[in-house]
Structure 1
C-alpha cells in the first residue's frame, strides 16, 4: 500500500456527491439518481457484497443491458475494492460459461431476461456462490432489490489506485476472449482525458445507448462523471427514442458508431425533432464515410469527434476542427485518419525490427501512457506479447503523415467491424468447423450499407457431405452471439492456400469479398 491516500474512482463518486449532491448523475426510463443517491446505492451494494463474504479484489460478474443497476454494480466494485467482470448479453451459452469460469466470480448478477440462459449453464459455473437477479428472481437466485436492502450506506473501504476495478473481456485475434485488467489509476486518467476532449461540464447531459459492458460506453460515462454531468441511459439503439430524448432532455453529447449515425439521419422523422442542444457526437469503431459526414454536418453542424482505441488502451483522437469534407486536399486527406494522440499519450509506429517508421511508412501502432491496461487476466503470455518495453502493442498497422496525423493501414488481423462491434474471424471459423459437414472455412468481412461490414463465410464441405447456408448459420447461433454469425455463406470446391498450407485470405477476399 502507498504512504498516503490516492485518487480513485471511489474518490470521484464521493467528490461528485459532496460538490454536486442534488444534481442528476444517472437518468433511466423516468428514474433519476442524484450524485448523493448514486454514491449511497454503490455503498449499500458494496456493503451487501461484503456481507455475502466478498473480499478485496474478488470478482462480481454482471450480465445486463443498460440500466441503473449495471452502473450500481460498477460503483460497488469501485467503492469496495472489488472487481467487476462484464459479460456481453449478446453472448451464447458457451461464451458466457467461458468468461465466468475464467474470471471466477463468487457473485453473478444477471437481468431477469437472461434467467433461462444462466439456468442452463449454472451447474458448470463452479466459482459462483450467489446468483443475483435484477427483476423477478427464480428460486435458485436472490433478488437484486432484496440484496441491496441488506447493505449499509455508511460503508467504507480502503481502495488503492493500483487496484483492478474491472475486467472487460474482448476477443483476441486467436478468437478466445481475453480479460483486460483495468485499474483505478488508468480509469481516472481516462476519465480526465475524455472529459477534456469532450469539454464536458456539470451542465452537460450525455446520452449513452452503446452497451455498458463495453469499454467505450463505460469510458464515455467516466468522462462525463469527471465533471459531474448527467448520464442518460437507453437499453437499446432506438432511433426515434434517441431523437425524442435529445429534444426533450436537451442532450448535449452522445456516443455512437457511424452506422448508428446513418440510421439516425435516415429516420423518416428526423426533421420533426429539435436537435439544436447537441454539441458533440463522439464516434468510434470505424471511420466516418465522407458522404455521411457531409449529411451530418449539414443537419447538426460541427459536432463530430472520433476516438480511436481498444479495450486495452486508447489515446488517439480526430478532433472536431479536423472534420472538413469541403476543405482543401490536406483537410480531406485527414478525414481518412484516426487523428492525433491524446494529451499525455505517446504514440510510435514501428517496423518488424522495432524501429520507428519514417513518414508514410506503415508499421505497428504502439501507445504509452497512464490509461493503458495492467495486463490480461489469467494470460501472462498474451500480456508479455502486448505490453513490451513499456509500450502497448496495438496489433493495428498504421502510418504517420507529415503533420503527425495517424492513418490505419490495416486493422487487427482478420477483424471485422459490424455495427460498431468487433468480430474476429478466427472465432467464427472455430464455430463453423464444429459442423460435421465442414472441411475448411474462412471468414471475411464484406461491405454492408447498413452495418459497415457483414460477416461472410467461405466454406469447403467434406466429400460426400451436404449443408445449406441456413444450416451453417443456424449451427453458429448455438455457439456464438448472433451478431458474430455469418450473414452469407459461399460454398467452394477448394480454398486457396499459401505454401505453408495456411488458407490464403488475400485471395479469398479478392475472389469473394464483393458485397
Structure 2
C-alpha cells in the first residue's frame, strides 16, 4: 500500500565487512502492548463496560480468538477493517485484533450517516467490516458502495453477520500468528478532512504510534502505572482511542460510560467508584463536568489529569474548571495527522487566577521530540510574535494521506507538515493559535468542514447559494451559521432546511442558524469569500449566537 509520499531517506545498508546490514526497520507490533499487560497483570481488571469487567488475560485471549477468526476469513496484513460502533469492549478489542494481524483499523465516527460511512469504506478500500447491531443501514450502504467488503461481523446479534462474541467463544484458545511489522507499516486510518470537505485517510503506522504512546505518557500523564484508572467520555474512534491505547501500554484500566449520551452525574459517580485518575475530554465536556452539581456530590480527589483538546477553551470556563477540580487540567494542541502531538500545557501552567506569570491564550510548548515552526507563505520561519502558519515535524507526524497525492503535496513542504492553523510563538517557545487558514471550525471538539454541508444544502431545489461559517458559541465553542440566497420565486423556512439536511450529514454538522439574504457579498472578481461574509455577519450583529452574546 502506498501513501504517495516519497520514501524517507535511510542510511544505506552496511556491507558485510562494515558490520550489520540494515534491510528493514522492524518495530514492535502495537498489539504487544496488550500482551505485555496480560503477562504482567493477568488477573487485574483491564476494561469496565457497565456491569461487565474483563481482565487483561481475558482480553488478550479474546483478541487472539478474534484475530484467528478474521484470519480464517482471509483477512491479513495490509487489509482494511472498517469498524462502525459505539464505545464497547468489542469495538476496542477490534483495534488490537487488526494490529495483531498487521491489518489496518478503520474506525468511523458512529454518529455518521450510512452514506458517509459507505464513502469511508470505499475510500479506504476496506475488505471487512465490524458493525454494532444498531447500525444495519450502515452495513447495507457499505455493501452497496463497496462490494469488496465480503466479511461483516456484528457486535451483538444481528441478521447482517455472525456475532462477534459468538466467534470469540468458538475460537477461544486459538491464535493467529502475530504479524511482523516495520516502522512504516500502516495500522490505523484516522479519517480527517480538508478544505474540500471530503474525508481523507491519514495513515498512522506502527512505528509512529509507538512514539505517540510514549510521548503521551511522557508529556500528558507522567507517572502513569497499573494503579491508575481512565474514564472514557468521548468516542474511541479518534483522539480518545489514541489516549486509551496509551493506557493499555501501562496496564491502566479503562472505564466506559454506560451510554453514548454524556451524563456528567454518572461520570462523577464512576470517578468515585473506580478512583479514576485521568480522562481525555474536549472543552465542552470539561465545562459540563466542572459546572454540574454532582462535582460536589462525589469524591474526585483521585483525579490527576483531566486532558482537554480539540478546541480552544474560554478563559472563564478554564477558571471555573480549575476552581472546581483543582490543578489537574492538561491542554494539548494536535491534529489527527500529528496524532495530537504538537504542544502541551501541563497542570503547573494552569492557574485559576490571572497574573503576570500566566500566559493567557497559549496552547503550550512543543511536545517532547517534536518541533514547531511558524512559517510565512514561502516556508520561511517568522520572528517571535509574528503570525504565520503553524508547521510541525517529528516522529509523531503521520505517513501521509492514503491514495491522495494532491493532498500530500499541499500538506508537506520541505519536510514540515502544514497544519493549516495560523498562530505565533513567543520568545520562550509558547504557541498561540490566532486563526485558521481553512474554513474549518470546531464544534464540541469535532471538526466541521463547511463545504461538505454547503454541497448538501445546495441540493435543495430552493437554495441558489450558501455560505457556512463557524461563529462563537458559549456551550459548543463554535457552531455553524448558514447564509442562503434562494432561487427566484422559491421559498423555504429555516426549520425546513434543517430537516432537509438531517440524515444527510451527521447532526453535529448541522448549522445552528440559517439566515436568508438577497445576495452574498462578492469580491471584485465575482468570488464569494468567507471573509466578506463574516464581515457582513458582523455588521448585522450576527457573528455570535445568543448564548455567546449573553455570556
- Whether these two folds match at TM > 0.5 is yes
> Match of 1:147?
167
TM-score, normalised to structure 1's length?
Answer: 0.95
Distance in 2 of aligned mates of 1:167 and 1:3: 23
Matched, 1:288 2:313: yes
Q: What SS does the aligned partner of 1:84 have?
A: strand
Distance in 2 of aligned mates of 1:514 and 1:289: 14
Distance in 2 of aligned mates of 1:330 and 1:508: 38
Q: Cα RMSD between the aligned structures?
A: 1.7
Q: What SS does the aligned partner of 2:27 have?
A: coil
Q: What SS does the aligned partner of 2:237 have?
A: coil
Q: How does 1:282-361 map to 2 (within 5 A)?
A: 282-313=307-338, 314-331=341-358, 334-361=359-386
Larger deviation, residues 389-398 vs 19-28: 19-28
Q: Is the 8 A contact 2:118 2:141 kept in 1?
A: no
Matched, 1:209 2:233: yes
- The 1:37–1:500 alpha-carbon spacing in structure 2 relative to 1, beyond 3 Å, is farther
**Deviations 1:198-233 (CA, angstroms, capped at 9, x unpaired):** 11222111111210111x101211222222211112
Distance in 2 of aligned mates of 1:491 and 1:431: 17
- Among 230, 240, 251, the residue aligned to 1:228: 251
Report the Cα offset of residue 500 of structure 1: 2.9
**Deviations 1:221-267 (CA, angstroms, capped at 9, x unpaired):** 12222222111122422111101000111101011111112212232
Q: Is the 8 A contact 1:172 1:424 kept in 2?
A: yes
Report the Cα offset of residue 3 of structure 1: 5.7
Distance in 1 of aligned mates of 2:294 and 2:179: 51
Q: Is the 8 A contact 1:66 1:209 kept in 2?
A: no
Distance in 2 of aligned mates of 1:311 and 1:4: 24
- Among 25, 28, 44, the residue aligned to 2:65: 44
Q: How does 1:30-429 map to 2 (within 5 A)?
A: 30-120=51-141, 122-138=143-159, 140-151=160-171, 152-160=173-181, 161-197=183-219, 198-199=221-222, 200-214=224-238, 216-234=239-257, 235-236=259-260, 237-313=262-338, 314-331=341-358, 334-429=359-454
Q: How does 1:361-510 map to 2 (within 5 A)?
A: 361-510=386-535
Report the Cα offset of residue 121 of structure 1: 5.2
Q: What SS does the aligned partner of 2:293 have?
A: coil
Larger deviation, residues 291-300 vs 191-200: 291-300
Q: Is the 8 A contact 2:34 2:249 kept in 1?
A: no
- The 1:154–1:54 alpha-carbon spacing in structure 2 relative to 1, beyond 3 Å, is closer
Distance in 2 of aligned mates of 1:451 and 1:29: 28
Q: Is the 8 A contact 1:92 1:477 kept in 2?
A: no
> Match of 1:514?
544
Distance in 1 of aligned mates of 2:397 and 2:207: 10
Q: Is the 8 A contact 1:359 1:399 kept in 2?
A: yes
- The 1:5–1:102 alpha-carbon spacing in structure 2 relative to 1, beyond 3 Å, is closer
Distance in 2 of aligned mates of 1:290 and 1:8: 41
Runs of 4 or more off by more than 4 Å in structure 1? 1-5
Aligned residues between the structures: 511
Report the Cα offset of residue 2 of structure 1: 5.2
Distance in 2 of aligned mates of 1:191 and 1:89: 24
Q: Is the 8 A contact 2:117 2:138 kept in 1?
A: no
Distance in 2 of aligned mates of 1:97 and 1:372: 27
Distance in 1 of aligned mates of 2:309 and 2:63: 29
Report the Cα offset of residue 14 of structure 1: 1.9
- The 1:354–1:419 alpha-carbon spacing in structure 2 relative to 1, beyond 3 Å, is same
Q: What SS does the aligned partner of 2:524 have?
A: coil
Distance in 1 of aligned mates of 2:195 and 2:357: 34
Report the Cα offset of residue 508 of structure 1: 1.9
Q: What SS does the aligned partner of 1:377 have?
A: coil
Report the Cα offset of residue 286 of structure 1: 1.8
Distance in 1 of aligned mates of 2:150 and 2:321: 49
TM-score, normalised to structure 2's length?
Answer: 0.89
Matched, 1:20 2:41: yes
Distance in 2 of aligned mates of 1:290 and 1:120: 43
Q: Please, which runs of 5 or more residues in structure 2 have no aligned partner?
A: 1-21, 538-542, 546-551
**Deviations 1:346-393 (CA, angstroms, capped at 9, x unpaired):** 111110111101011111111111111111112121122213322211
Distance in 1 of aligned mates of 2:437 and 2:85: 28
